[in-house]
Amino acid sequence: MMLQIYLFLIVVVLVLLASMIKILREYERGVVFLLGRFWKVKGPGLIIIVPIIQQMVRVDLRTIVLDVPTQDVISRDNVSVKVNAVVYFRVVDPEKAIIQVEAFMTATSQLAQTTLRSVLGQHELDEMLAERDRLNNDVRSILDQQTDAWGIKVSNVEIKHVDLDESMIRAIARQAEAERSRRAKIIHAEGEQQAAEKLVQAAARLSTEPQAIQLRYLQTLTEVVSEKSHTLVFPLPIDLLGPLMEKAQEKE
């Protein structure tokens, strides 16, 4: 009988010791309550907790990756899109994370969803597609301010996908094609304008240099003769004959 009592006491002592001794890893902290009131934050390492009188809640200080579910967003230009994102945050104040909010993971997830819809709804579709970095910073800044009271630091927000329906994808493709066509026409028109300006400059220069006109004419004849042609007919400018006729009159 005594042996059984001793065994029972040994078991009770071992159970009490197991419940008293807590080991916290380097990235963990323990929020300790004494008779229901906050006492202190302990850890890492070996922690002694008095059973019944004290209770401890573990808090992970590592960066948490939170996947925000897909949200239906209506942009400022009345385009319906589906957007999902990922939020990176960590607990910087374990006391606030346990005391100020019931479940900081759930609270942060719900806040991220509402903030994502609110921020993106203030922008047009083109901004969602082309200015993601700025939108990421806007969402992160709002989340960080609102979660500061919970002892949470939001380090980054990344919008992963902006999904459109098929009709909107086709409309964007037509818009892009029209934009490329417009740019091509502008470039062609600018090229024609530059060519016309160069021709005007060349004509003005040639009009002041008759010899240049003659050289240009002879060069053109050389290029034409080099082509494979049996019959060659070309006009002979009177300006080229002027100097020859003057020399012939002088000899007479």
The pLDDT score that the predictor gives to residue 131 is 87
* pLDDT at 209 exceeding the cut of 70: no
Are 113 and 46 in a shared domain? no
Cross-strand bridge partners of residue 156: 88
CATH of the domain at 96: 3.30.479.30
pLDDT band at 51 (very low <50, low <70, confident <90, very high): confident
- The answer to whether residue 237 is domain-embedded is no
pTM of the model: 0.66
Question: Taking all residues of the chain, what is their mean pLDDT, rounded to a whole number?
Answer: 81
The total number of structural domains that make up the chain? 2
Cis check for the bond before 44: say yes or no (omega within 30 of 0).
Answer: yes
Looking at residue 12, what is its pLDDT?
73
Q: Are 60 and 45 in contact (CB under 8 A)?
A: no
Same-domain status, 52 and 68: no
Same domain, 41 and 137: no
In a domain, 3, yes or no: no
CA dihedral 115, 118, 122, 123 (to 10 degrees): 60
Taking each helix axis from N to C terminus, what angle separates 104-120 and 132-147, rounded to the nearest 10 degrees? 140
Q: Are residues 68 and 165 in the same domain?
A: yes
Based on the fold, state whether residues 86 and 161 are members of the same structural domain: yes
Q: Are residues 47 and 95 in the same domain?
A: no
**Whole-number pLDDT of residue 226:** 63
pLDDT at 228: 60
Its domain, for residue 131, covers 64-169
Looking at per-residue confidence, does 169 or 23 come out higher?
Answer: 23
Q: What residue has token string 């609110």? A: 118
Q: Count of CB atoms within 10 A of residue 71's CB?
A: 17
For 100-158, how does the pLDDT look when each residue is reduced to its tens digit (9 = 90+)?
999 999 999 999 999 999 999 898 888 888 888 899 999 999 999 999 999 999 999 99
